[in-house]
Structure 1
């Protein structure tokens, strides 16, 4: 069957295909930053110092998760290509390799964060009280890093199989458990910021176990009694999965460096600016994950289309999802503008932080249409396996952002100024991604790139 012709005759079918993946992915991605939103709201009412400390610790944890996000993205791309070529068992085997890699990397990264928490948080240059709070949070949160990375890999497997509903169910259950545990541990047992960290670790571990159980059931249906052989770690294949993720790792490191540099500028500007930036960055993460739902659909559908050697369908889907990304950005930006005077009071009672945060949210809102464009095209190229180009482009963007960072640091900008500076980075990123998408070099067909 000519799927590209079918899509042309039935554009509504193409839209439904995107929505079938994007809507559950949207709700799942919203639930993920909701972990941090819940932590921020609960910890924020303990005091400004605790909120600033959470900002530092969250930046370190987000960096860890961001560094290894290729576990989700790379697994989605490879599994979707294999599934598009008709090899479901091969797709699941690739997914198992990714899960083992996530567990291995998580054990190492978690140990480093827990044992070196003091040194890591000191790098941000926050005040001593804020740094102490950040250290307490990070020491406990490091224990949950293996589960966090397994969740990334396992979610990537299911997305590659075009199943975004199961991660949604698991995410909602995990978020609900996280809120209950955090309120009980922080206020009920009076554990302060440590209780917030512990509650999140327990919720993440439960989510990881649930996702692994789903993948094992799918493997059992495909391979029956040979399941122990299939799920056993194969060092060669795990190493191959690691090598395949290197370009996306470089891309992610460059992007995380941009966010860390922005946090560093915020930390050097005082606790009020840092606290306002922490909350605004949390809201930004929430919006990013919402827009990234289309990027997730782009990864899965692009990989599947190219695996099936259907380039016209891949381009049709790309054009549709880019339009949707921009309009979703417009809608989300309008919501933030409408709520910019209300949101600050939900996170802090400090009047100075509230004023700084309200201004920052307005700047952040204006950038959302551009964000929708950027995230969708990024997802398309990841789904196409265009990791090498993405790695080089991200390094270029980082280099161009460095002068902006220095100017912001010297000017001692407020939280709103930080977001104006960050907007220049997003603009450069959008230009480069748009140029690449107009070429044919990313659209390589076959079960493997």
Structure 2
């Protein structure tokens, strides 16, 4: 079992680690400008794209679990329909976002807190990066489908390529051409074009046979589309809760001042680094639990869960050590501004304990997605979100910015605890 888990987890870890690396590079490029407003602008612009991209991440999550179950049943028609329906929805959503881009950025910046200078720069960032939306959302679907096919290598190749191109492009535009927020945004657009072209080439190399199952009529089949959307809608609401929490977190940081926004934005990279690492095991859970659920093998589902939690706990302890010993030096990767560094170090202890409070939530997410237990997943996330807001508003007056980090840790812990309680209610145990 460890071999099966690591075969899927290691490529996904390598895939995921390139994502926070990209965020770190963007923070570095902006953090070494002559003002903290550039860091804040990329952070605020990134929040808007959390709405845009995380909002459609439900397509990847619902599709990977359902495709894995189709793989377990060895149904080629189901496998094909999962991919084609997902791509149809992704492209439609991406084109709609392009048409509504001015309304999206206007509404977002009216809701979000922050200085006018930061908001103006965030809008510049958005209007460049939004042109990658149809391809970026489609890539989520394609990578989710590859994972459902028990193929973690292709998503790794695609993601590493995208982020390598993005980093090199951003450095070129910012360091060589002297661009600022528009430079890092343009790097994202170019990277997504390259990544989408690569994903098509890889698909044709190994899965060309799936094209014979293509039928536009079947893609729009009411029963199949509603079944897909039923699972997706619950996962969308679950994902929306995460978007709300992280958007609120960044917005309240911005409302406190540009300095707190810059410090919290740098510290969030610690959370993202850990989350993307643990998501490697969550993705392994999606593929394996999905496959065993599809073949109705309860014994292997339980065995998979046991081994996944052992790996999750181990790496939580590893990250506590890394952040505890090297947190100060990791912060230096993001900025050389003494006031931002000093402020961030005040709140660093919250990030040191976060791996232990948060690891179980990532593992459970993968298990629930693989079992397509979307409703239970949604309900546990709603409960954790309520805890986040109750804690923040009850503590903000007494401990200030510490209340955001306390609420964030309890949000992560609550997700894991509630999912542990509902575990036995997963559909696989009722078969």
TM-score normalised by L of structure 2: 0.93
Q: Which residue of 2 aligns with 1:274?
A: 261
2: CA distance between counterparts of 1:390 and 1:71? 15
2: CA distance between counterparts of 1:53 and 1:65? 18
In the alignment, is residue 187 of structure 1 matched against residue 175 of structure 2?
yes
Question: For the structure 1 residues 264 and 204, does the alpha-carbon distance in structure 2 shift closer, same or farther, using more than 3 Å as the test?
Answer: same
1: CA distance between counterparts of 2:48 and 2:217? 32
Q: Which residue of 1 aligns with 2:372?
A: 385
SS of the residue 1:406 aligns to: helix
Q: Which residue of 2 aligns with 1:92?
A: 80
- Give 1:174's match in structure 2, choosing from 133, 147, 162: 162
Tell me the matched-pair count: 428
Give, in angstroms, the shift of residue 433 of structure 1: 0.9
2: CA distance between counterparts of 1:361 and 1:143? 36
Q: Contact (CA 8 Å) 2:114, 2:258: kept in 1 or not?
A: yes
Q: Which residue of 1 aligns with 2:296?
A: 309
Worse-superposed segment, 372-381 or 293-302: 372-381
Q: Which residue of 1 aligns with 2:411?
A: 425
Q: Which residue of 2 aligns with 1:324?
A: 311
1: CA distance between counterparts of 2:18 and 2:240? 24
Q: Which residue of 1 aligns with 2:40?
A: 52
Give, in angstroms, the shift of residue 417 of structure 1: 4.3
Give, in angstroms, the shift of residue 301 of structure 1: 0.3
SS of the residue 1:422 aligns to: helix
**What does residue range 430-449 of structure 1 map to in structure 2 within 5 Å?**
430-437=416-423, 439-443=424-428
**What does residue range 358-397 of structure 1 map to in structure 2 within 5 Å?**
358-397=345-384
2: CA distance between counterparts of 1:141 and 1:239? 31
Give, in angstroms, the shift of residue 203 of structure 1: 0.3
2: CA distance between counterparts of 1:197 and 1:403? 35
Q: Contact (CA 8 Å) 2:31, 2:39: kept in 1 or not?
A: yes
In the alignment, is residue 68 of structure 1 matched against residue 68 of structure 2?
no
2: CA distance between counterparts of 1:240 and 1:34? 36
Q: Contact (CA 8 Å) 1:48, 1:348: kept in 2 or not?
A: no
- Give 2:323's match in structure 1, choosing from 304, 324, 336: 336
**Which structure 1 residue ranges, 5 or more long, are not aligned?**
1-13
Q: Which residue of 1 aligns with 2:287?
A: 300
Q: Contact (CA 8 Å) 2:17, 2:273: kept in 1 or not?
A: yes
Q: Deviations over 1:213-263 (max 9, x none)?
A: 32344442355xx47x44788323555533331010011111221112222
Q: Contact (CA 8 Å) 1:306, 1:445: kept in 2 or not?
A: no
Give, in angstroms, the shift of residue 272 of structure 1: 0.8
Question: For the structure 1 residues 396 and 185, does the alpha-carbon distance in structure 2 shift closer, same or farther, using more than 3 Å as the test?
Answer: same
2: CA distance between counterparts of 1:122 and 1:222? 45
Question: For the structure 1 residues 442 and 103, does the alpha-carbon distance in structure 2 shift closer, same or farther, using more than 3 Å as the test?
Answer: same
1: CA distance between counterparts of 2:102 and 2:14? 31
Question: For the structure 1 residues 232 and 21, does the alpha-carbon distance in structure 2 shift closer, same or farther, using more than 3 Å as the test?
Answer: farther
Q: Which residue of 2 aligns with 1:131?
A: 119
2: CA distance between counterparts of 1:97 and 1:217? 21
2: CA distance between counterparts of 1:304 and 1:432? 24
SS of the residue 1:268 aligns to: helix
Query: Cα RMSD (Å) of the superposition?
Result: 2.1
Q: Which residue of 1 aligns with 2:134?
A: 146
Worse-superposed segment, 253-262 or 356-365: 356-365
Question: For the structure 1 residues 99 and 350, does the alpha-carbon distance in structure 2 shift closer, same or farther, using more than 3 Å as the test?
Answer: same
Q: Contact (CA 8 Å) 1:25, 1:293: kept in 2 or not?
A: yes
2: CA distance between counterparts of 1:280 and 1:394? 23
Question: For the structure 1 residues 177 and 287, does the alpha-carbon distance in structure 2 shift closer, same or farther, using more than 3 Å as the test?
Answer: same
**What does residue range 192-211 of structure 1 map to in structure 2 within 5 Å?**
192-211=180-199
**Which structure 2 residue ranges, 5 or more long, are not aligned?**
none
Q: Which residue of 2 aligns with 1:81?
A: 69
